[in-house]
Amino acid sequence: MARVLITGGAGFIGSHAADALLGAGYEVRLLDNLAPQVHGGARQRPSYLNGDMELIVGDVSDAPAVERALRGIDMVLHLASAVGVGQSMYHIEPYVRTNELGTAVLLQALAKHPVERLVVASSMSVYGEGLCRSAEGAAISPDERSVDQLRRGDWELCDADGRPLQPVPTSESKPPSLSSIYALNKYVQERMCLITGKAYAMPTVALRFFNVFGPRQALSNPYTGVLAIFAARILNGRSPLVFEDGLQKRDFVHVHDVARACLLALETEYANEVFNVGSGTSRTIISVARDLARVMGRPDIAPAVTGKYRAGDIRHCFADLEKSRTLLGFEPRVRFEEGLDELANYLADQIADDQVEQATDELLRRGLVA
């Protein structure tokens, strides 16, 4: 069976993808820098990694480490990335170095020794605002909300005449609208991989992940997925902080489904394609905060609605899965309620260093929250 390199393979999504690949009979090698923000300061091999996985501790922007990791490899799943919209707006150079330069270093090595297939993790953030429908029923790609609108607390998307727009599932055909450095990074990553893959006859697929949740997500990283951020607050007896009015809609997809999508992308006959990976359903942020507190046994902890906004945030975005179902054969299997129960069981014996207030203060100090 083929040997697969997973960059960022010791992390949340990478480790679950590695489990799925091992279960399907692949040999798996991981390249990961064990970043302290994700893994803590000890930089030790995570206990959840299967012993059959080879781990190379190194950075994707380090050419010798990448060359070493690619030896004898048949396929690459490129997940290594600095993640987080808010932090990307002030840690600009580190985000560009990891996400864009790191991808360039990987592709430079692959240009010399192409593999059988390359899969790269992109993000729903490349869409900016999700697709909407006008009062007349026309599909609309909304403009970004203006600063004046946000300062008024007028959160919803409207057309040029001030009429409300109805959010609808967003397909891969929607033009990108890059509202954060992280969104720009992810779009650059996917385009670099697709361009290089086509040039070197290396079949390449980009997967646009929506809001991924599940066990192993870093609880002490205040810029990780929103469910993990909320969980860290609740574990410490504090209210989850919800921006705007909490009615913004997102698509939450379980990490087991995401891992299976990675496997499908490595095995599909299609190349030079982009696929959504989500649940195909939408939930408001405030309802998710309440549901999480309930399954964690703390229904008394209500979310705190801040009425503030963050630079780079969007209002609504959830996935249209028609293309992924038809071409990739992807169908989400884990119901949101089942995934929350599994997450609650995982959280029962976890300790979280809640750094959300410090992170929010940093954004406030820099004028990125108002």
**Is 81 a member of any domain?**
yes
Please pick, among 127, 182, 187, 223, the residue that the annotation labels catalytic.
Answer: 182
CA geometry: angle 278, 168, 326, nearest 5 deg: 50
Q: What is the pTM of this model?
A: 0.95
pLDDT of residue 367: 78
pLDDT of residue 347: 87
What confidence tens digit (pLDDT) does each residue in 51-101 have?
Answer: 999 999 999 999 999 999 999 999 999 999 999 888 999 999 999 999 999
To the query of whether residue 48 is one of the catalytic residues in this protein, the response is no
pLDDT of residue 202: 98
**Is 370 a member of any domain?**
no
pLDDT lower than 50: segments of the chain: none
Return phi, psi of residue 56, to 5°: -105, 120
pLDDT of residue 11: 95
**CATH value at residue 17:** 3.40.50.720
**Is 125 a member of any domain?**
yes
**Is 87 a member of any domain?**
yes
Do the beta carbons of residue 95 and residue 182 sit within 8 Å?
yes
Range of the domain at 162: 3-365
**Is 273 a member of any domain?**
yes
pLDDT of residue 253: 98
The DSSP result for 152-174, as a single string, is TT--S-B-TTSPBPEE-PBPTTS
Q: Work out how many domains the chain is built from and give that number.
A: 1
Q: Which of 24-57 are b and which e, b meaning 16 or more Cβ less than 10 Å from the residue's Cβ? A: eebbbbbbbbbbebbbeeeeebbeebeeebebbe
pLDDT of residue 352: 67
**Is 188 a member of any domain?**
yes
- How far is the C-alpha of 217 from the C-alpha of 313, rounded, in Å? 21
- How far is the C-alpha of 19 from the C-alpha of 26, rounded, in Å? 10
Cβ count within 10 A of residue 174: 18
What confidence tens digit (pLDDT) does each residue in 111-120 have?
Answer: 999 999 999 9
pLDDT of residue 43: 81
pLDDT of residue 131: 97
pLDDT of residue 296: 94
Proportion of the chain in helix, strand, coil states, percent, rounded to 5: 40, 15, 45
